[in-house]
Amino acid sequence: MRIRMAAFAASALFVVSAISACGGSSDNGVASKSPDAIVTAATGAIDGVKSVHVSGSIISGGSPITLNLNLVSGKGGRGEMSENGLSFQLVEVGQFVYINGSPAFWRHFGGAAAAQLFQGKWLKAPASTGSLASLASLTNLHQLLSALLSSHGTLTKGATTTVNGQKAVAVNDTSKGGALYVATTGKPYPVKILKTGSQGGHLVFDRYNESVSLTAPPKAIDISQLQSK
């Protein structure tokens, strides 16, 4: 089960490499900048972000992956992820990653015995090492956003549009396919990343700097103790 869990974590992490609301009403001037300058402005804006909500889906190796995460700078995050309908809840806080899988999730990765043993239970592992370390990188707010914004090819500026009620300017990636949408009012935060092609998908960023509570699930089972038996 340890190897298959690590494989799933690596697959979920593909979201970063493959794709590789914003308060205020005043025009921030970003729409008049060059495409590279818009990305630079968005990269600078995320340095001061305290929290953000990230949601969306992408195709990885032919499998649909979805995520719905609340991330907190310097603390971790919480939410849900799934691949091919195999869903689990995720919490990263206090140097540990916690997961609570659906019965189908545990049945797939550990068999019927695991599905029965772990039903309704949380498992935990160190965030820096081990089979769940890759998942921890998805809850690192600045690491995730920086990786997404730095992974691009040749850029051209697109039209100004509205994304989930937020005015934004598009920056198109003409060599890799896809687009980044950056808020044109308030802080120039990224509000959406779109990836085209067979491995396509999208991520939406909203609820910037809202209060998010992170609490370690009680009575979580330490994965290292299971592996030592």
- What pLDDT, on the 0 to 100 scale, is given for residue 63? 79
DSSP lists the bridge partners of residue 169 as 160, 182
Its domain, for residue 73, covers 2-20+24-213
On whether residue 226 sits in a domain, the answer given is: no
Model pTM score: 0.83
Contact indicator for 74, 212 with CB cutoff of 8 Å:
no
Q: Which of 13, 4, 20 is nearest to 136 (CA)?
A: 13
> How confident is residue 17, by pLDDT bands cut at 50, 70 and 90?
very low
More confident residue, 183 or 19: 183
On whether residue 180 sits in a domain, the answer given is: yes
On whether residue 67 sits in a domain, the answer given is: yes
- Over range 131-136, report the average pLDDT: 78
**Residue 203 sits in a domain of what CATH number?**
2.50.20.20
- Say yes or no to pLDDT of 11 above 60: no
More confident residue, 156 or 85: 156
Query: Among 8-17, 86-95, 190-199, which stretch is predicted with the lowest mean pLDDT?
Result: 8-17
pLDDT in tens, 22-39: 445 689 999 999 999 999
On whether residue 228 sits in a domain, the answer given is: no
More confident residue, 19 or 74: 74
- What pLDDT, on the 0 to 100 scale, is given for residue 18? 47
Q: Which of 12, 23, 86, 103 is nearest to 56 (CA)?
A: 12
- Say yes or no to pLDDT of 13 above 70: no
- Over range 167-181, report the average pLDDT: 92
On whether residue 129 sits in a domain, the answer given is: yes
Angle between helices 2-18 and 141-150 (to 10 degrees): 50
Distance CA 144, CA 71 (A): 10
On whether residue 40 sits in a domain, the answer given is: yes
Angle in degrees, CA 130, 132, 134, rounded to 5 = 100
On whether residue 13 sits in a domain, the answer given is: yes
On whether residue 219 sits in a domain, the answer given is: no
- Say yes or no to pLDDT of 180 above 90: yes
224 alpha carbon, distance to own chain's centre: 25
Total domains in the chain come to 1
Residue type, 63: S
More confident residue, 84 or 168: 168
What are the respective helix, strand and coil percentages of the chain, to the nearest 5?
30, 35, 35
pLDDT in tens, 89-109: 999 999 999 999 999 999 988
Instruction: Decide the pairing of beta strands 76-83 and 86-93.
Output: antiparallel
